[in-house]
Amino acid sequence: MATSSTNSVTGSFPVKRGLAEMLKGGVIMDVVTPEQAKLAEDAGACAVMALERVPADIRRDGGVARMSDPEMIQGIQAAVTIPVMAKARIGHFVEAQILQALGVDFIDESEVLTPADEAHHIDKFKFTTPFVCGATNLGEALRRISEGAAMIRSKGEAGTGNVVEAVRHLRSILGDIKKIGTADSAELFEWAKRLQAPLSLVQEIAETGQLPVPLFCAGGLATPADAAFAMQLGASSVFVGSGIFKSDNPALRAKAIVEATTHFMDADVLARVSTGIGAPMTGIGMDEINQRYAERGW
């Protein structure tokens, strides 16, 4: 029997998008130490995001937020067996090159870090490692996909513990997808123009009724109910950042959010897992913050 071994391809778009597909129905947790990463894996996280400070602390500390120290990322890679993601600044392709060299499983070109380029995002097709990017609306999502993103997440407003912005972004993206689904072929040109997005991607949405890559929810989720809310609205998975390790009992909360994400339609399970998990992070209102991370990105 001939086993052809000549045509193996790594880093292709289907291979990148494939990992995003594997992370569906799961919870990706922000962690800043190997101990936190272990706790996340114990709780059933499907991946962790390795970073130096959770968004709530970045918000509090101010200053320039950059890619994490490679040593810290390696420590987390050594501590867990699940996929490890890490963040690069918007447009900072050298930070992304370093993260790829470190062997992270997904790179988040993230508005939570201070942008490095005010006009350009990273050309993500040049990388073997898949990318996830944030979006506040469908046009932004499609521009990121046209640059090679294999996963889109709603931006929400990271570090606030307030789900309202994530919900706005999810509803905006999914609402426009629904409208495009009912548009006629002539209207698709107008949609592409209005969204400032490639016509081919708009046409693909009209045909399939969905985004060309998985859509996850991020930015302000703090409770099991928030996670199930995002899933019922149509997200395929959730990112939880500050919401776990800024709460009273991270281990219990992390496990509860994992169960809530799986059983998002089952109110009895949601009631059970929401009980006795201690206080969530305090959170802040949108009128109390002076820097909206979601406005970063072009």
Partner 1 sequence: MKPKLHIGVLALQGAFVAHAQALRDCGAEVQLVRTHEDLNGIQGLVIPGGESTTMSNLLVASGLSEVLKDIFRHGFPVFGTCAGMIVLAERILDGRTDQISLGALKIDVRRNGYGRQNDSFEQDIIVPSFDTPFHALFIRAPVIEAIGPDVEVLASWGDRPVLVRSAHALACSFHPELVSDLRIHEMFLSIVENFSVTNPR
Single out the segment in contact with partner 1 by CB under 8 A; choices: 87-95, 99-107, 169-177, 242-250: 99-107
Cβ contacts of 239 within 8 Å, gap of 6 or more: 27, 28, 29, 30, 49, 153, 216, 217, 218, 219, 221
Q: Which one among 61, 63, 81, 279 touches partner 1, defined by CB under 8 A?
A: 81
- CA 225, 214, 185: angle at the middle one, nearest 5? 120
Catalytic residues: 87
Single out the segment in contact with partner 1 by CB under 8 A; choices: 17-25, 65-73, 109-117, 132-140: 17-25
Report how far residue 105's alpha carbon sits from residue 132's, in angstroms, rounded to the nearest whole number.
11
Q: Which one among 83, 91, 156, 283 touches partner 1, defined by CB under 8 A?
A: 83
Q: Which one among 32, 39, 41, 59 touches partner 1, defined by CB under 8 A?
A: 41
Nearest distance in Å: CB 67, partner 1: 17
Report how far residue 288's alpha carbon sits from residue 103's, in angstroms, rounded to the nearest whole number.
38
Report how far residue 96's alpha carbon sits from residue 265's, in angstroms, rounded to the nearest whole number.
37
Nearest distance in Å: CB 25, partner 1: 4
The amino acid sitting at 261 is T
262 binds partner 1 (CB under 8 A): yes
Residue 174 to residues 216, 228, 277, Cα–Cα distance (Å)? 11, 16, 32
Q: Is 21 helix (H, G, I), strand (E, B) or coil?
A: helix
Single out the segment in contact with partner 1 by CB under 8 A; choices: 63-71, 125-133, 161-169, 225-233: 125-133
Q: Which one among 25, 75, 198, 234 touches partner 1, defined by CB under 8 A?
A: 25
- Residues 25, 216 contacting (CB under 8 angstroms): no
Binding-residue pattern over the window 126 to 165 for partner 1, x denoting contact by CB under 8 A: --xxx-----------------------------------
**Of 7 and 290, which has the nearer Cβ to partner 1?**
7
Q: Which one among 46, 116, 195, 225 touches partner 1, defined by CB under 8 A?
A: 46
